[in-house]
Amino acid sequence: MKFVDEIRVHAKAGDGGNGCCSFRREKFVPRGGPDGGDGGKGGDIILVADHDVDSLVALFFEPLIRSKRGGHGKGKDKHGRSAEHNYIKVPIGTVIYRAGQSQRDEIEIEPIADLSQPGQEFILSKGGDGGKGNTHFKSSTNRVPRQVTKGYPGEEGWFLFELRTIADIGLVGYPNAGKSTLLRELSAAKPKTAAYPFTTLHPLVGVIELPEYGRVTMADIPGLIEGAHENRGLGHEFLRHIVRCKSLFFVLDMAGSEGRNPIDDYQSLRKELRLYDPTLTAKPSCIIANKMDLPESEENLKAFKTRFPKLKVIPICAEIKEGLDKVIQYISKKVAS
């Protein structure tokens, strides 16, 4: 299924029903007077953060959100029926902005809602109030009022929905550093892995079961490249998912099998995070030194520890499941506690 983490939608709440112009007509009741009822309220459009939804793909195929209008008033002082609200389920971590119709239109910098908690609701568009029936206009000087008001229109507008993945741990690293393999071995998630170079195209969240019935969530953040903070490649598409992670694990190819130096990789990753959002560098973090079964990994690891003596480094080889118990122990003590 297609993964969608950003979508532009148009929302139109229901209009209110019209008021009714009616006069009482009963046997033996002459000049019964006005009895027109009010119109019903239009339905609201309400967003609900649901943990069973992990993508905005449903809105990708239906970007026009509508609510029904309220019923019209009737005679005998009968009010129109208020329309039911339209509840739209969105993933936890969805941020909503006001936007224009086209991609070139400006988007408001400040979000109008941030649905970060399960079950959290937000009224995206309010339904219009119903119109008044002619009963409201009777007076001592206007005994046969024919005035009514129409229902008020429901709110409408264009909005941008942006999904920011929420997880306890975010795996950060260059493409082919082994993030997907690590997630696959620690959780029940099944990210694509292969012997040839490629990068994951969207975040994938897995649940890690810990000793003593604990559990944490881990997100495989797609590989970053230099200049990601300037939106090179799919920079902002990836970086925004890191903002919500409580802890960061820098997964490094300690063997330098892609022709890169692990020290340079770590410094570049930190730089990209800092330039995108300075608060990211303050998050708790550790180093996952992957591919320790390959030549030159031991020598590179020594050089890395010498360069960064205060960093927590966990040497592993995710492909052969070596050192994963140490990762679980670290998560239990530092992340899940």
**What is the rounded distance in angstroms from the CA atom of residue 35 to the CA atom of residue 307?**
85
Q: Identify the pLDDT of residue 65.
A: 96
The answer for residues whose C-beta is within 8 angstroms of residue 99's C-beta and 6 or more apart is: 8, 105, 107, 108, 158, 159, 160
The answer for residues whose C-beta is within 8 angstroms of residue 13's C-beta and 6 or more apart is: 42, 43, 44, 45, 67, 125, 126, 127, 128, 154, 155, 156
The residue extents of the domains of the chain are 1-163, 169-335
Would you say 34 and 20 are in contact if contact means Cβ atoms under 8 Å apart?
no
How far does Cα 331 stand from its chain's mean position? 25
> How confident is the model over 50-71, as pLDDT tens digits?
988 888 888 988 899 999 999 9
What is the maximum alpha-carbon separation in the chain?
106
> How confident is the model over 212-270, as pLDDT tens digits?
778 898 888 775 655 443 444 444 456 777 888 889 999 999 999 888 899 999 999 99
Task: Give the homologous superfamily in CATH for domain 1-163.
Answer: GTP1/OBG domain (2.70.210.12)
The DSSP symbol for 246 reads S
* Residue with token string 């209008």: 69
At the topology level of CATH, where does 169-335 sit? Rossmann fold (3.40.50)
